[in-house]
Amino acid sequence: MKNAQEWLLSQNSYNQDQSSYDDVRLNQGKAVTISIASGKGGVGKTSISLKLSKMLSEQGYKVLLIDCDTNLSNTALKLGLPINNNFEKLMKSEITFEECLHRDGKFNLLSACNGSTELFESSKDHEKFLIDILVKVENKYDYIFLDSPAGLARETLTLNAYSDHRFIVVTPDKSSITDSYSLLKILNMNYGITENHLIVNKISNRNQYKRIVKTLSETVENFLACRLQVLGGIQLESGEVDLFDGLLFDEANISLHKSFINLLGRFSEQGVCEHYNARKLLAGTSQLRQEVQPIC
């Protein structure tokens, strides 16, 4: 079977003219593309995508976050931005990619639509359209995050197969673990994906976290012959749900903020520094990481 990424790249319908790009980037070359994925919805993918993207941009990296749930977009809502139909206009070539972006320093967001009937009835393959965008702009960014839809739909699988890395988000819910294993299985058997990263969200205690990591890691290794890199866990917040988005971006919430620092630091140690020269990230997070012990 042809390599999934090669096949996906061969579907590109854009040229890669970068003449209009004049922003300064830390790493010259192709962006690191990371899909934030899960088998089950409601596990916190959007919050994790936003937090990691914003943190990297604050370290000086140029970051693009794409909301890939094309007609149920939540990224803009979590940032307090108004809903719009710019993504629909982009698909119809009425506006440009640059006109669709929300910019906040080095953080760029391409949000999608919410309940667009035209988008719903469109015959276009949304995943191919998104990958065409990626191929066109991946030389303009240091990191590109894909807030991927949950489940096993073709769009989800294709976007995850295209990505350089996949952060699989699970919660202590049994259905979350089972559904994420199903996602890993299909990616392995149909797309040849043998390595993924694991984030355990909404954990109550250390023992619960260790059980989930052991169960999923051993199952993936024994039955799929895959490698599951453990990035760490994020504790369950006990406050009111409608206030969580405010807490997410507040560095004063030290426990939550340090959990994300640990995630990024471990990812850097496992792959980014070796392959993408992201040593500035480790330098920027080392002091805070020394102050907090990993959950695992």
Domains in the chain with CATH codes: 26-290 (3.40.50.300)
Containing H/E element for 267? helix 254-267
Mean pLDDT of 129-142: 94
For the ranges 163-167, 240-244, 291-295, the one whose mean pLDDT is highest = 163-167
Residue 16 scores a pLDDT above 70: no
Q: Are 161 and 5 within 8 A, CB to CB?
A: yes
| CA distances for 15 relative to 31, 132, 149, 162, angstroms | 17, 9, 27, 18
- Please, which pLDDT band fits residue 251 given cuts at 50, 70 and 90? low
pLDDT, tens only, 226-246: 999 999 999 887 665 555 666
Q: What percent of the chain has pLDDT over 70?
A: 77
- Asked if the model's pLDDT at residue 9 lies above 70, the reply is no
Where do we find the tokens 């995850």? 160
Question: Which ranges of 192-249 does DSSP label H, i.e. alpha helix?
Answer: 206-224, 244-248
Which of 137-146, 230-239, 283-292 shows the lowest mean pLDDT across its residues?
Answer: 283-292
50-78 per-residue burial string, b: 16 or more CB within 10 A, e: under 16: bbbbbbbbebbbbbbbbbbbbbebbbbeb
| CA atoms of 243 and 22, how far apart (whole Å) | 38
| Sequence letter at residue 274 | E
Distance of alpha carbon 234 from alpha carbon 275, whole angstroms: 26
Beta bridge partners of 120: none
CA atoms within 13 A on the CB side of 51: 25
pLDDT at residue number 277: 41
Cβ 254 vs Cβ 222: under 8 Å: no
pLDDT digits (tens, 9 = 90+) for 183-210: 999 999 999 999 999 999 999 999 999 9
Considering only residues 108 and 88, tell me which one the structure prediction assigns the higher pLDDT: 108
Digit-coded pLDDT (tens) for 49-107: 999 999 999 999 999 999 998 777 788 888 888 888 888 889 889 999 999 999 999 99
What confidence tier does 225 reach under pLDDT thresholds 50, 70, 90? confident
